[in-house]
Amino acid sequence: MQVLNFYSRIFADQLKRGRKTATIRLGDKSHKYRKNQAVLVTIGYQFSPREKIFDAVIDAVEVKRVRDLSPRDIEHDNPEFRRHDELIHFLEQIYGRTVTEDDIVTVVRFSQIISSPPGYADARLGIGGAQN
């Protein structure tokens, strides 16, 4: 199974609460992540123990320039951000290099896989639905 890893513990709470539903990675990562692919979402540094957050499915993979990111793209990556300059500053901290609006990024949107969604069993069995 492919791993979608985050380095910062800051993201653990956002991921667990469902506030972070995408990641923006510098460069074209479309060869690495594909729509409908199952991934294991983890947090930790390379060569260190990592915490499993949840299993997820990739909903979409889009490659675009930083300037073409929508405020929604940015917000799904980090709920505290909406603007390009905030994202650029953050990416520069993560990647340790200058990032411009011309840089290529990959937006990977994902959804948590849960064992049984609330109401799923009832809906499947025809319980609690609309009355005819």
User: Quick one: what percent of the chain has pLDDT higher than 90?
Assistant: 74
Query: Are residues 42 and 3 in contact, defined by beta-carbon separation less than 8 angstroms?
Result: yes
CA gap 32, 30 in Å, rounded: 5
The confidence score (pLDDT) of residue 50 equals 93
- pLDDT per residue over 56-96, tens digit each? 999 999 999 999 999 999 999 998 898 999 999 999 998 99
Residue with tokens 């499947």: 124
Nearest to 77 by CA among 29, 23, 5: 23
Q: Which CATH class is domain 2-125?
A: alpha beta
Question: Over 60: is that where the pLDDT of 34 sits?
Answer: yes
Q: What is the mean pLDDT of residues 29-51?
A: 95
For the ranges 3-17, 46-60, 75-89, which has the lowest average pLDDT?
3-17
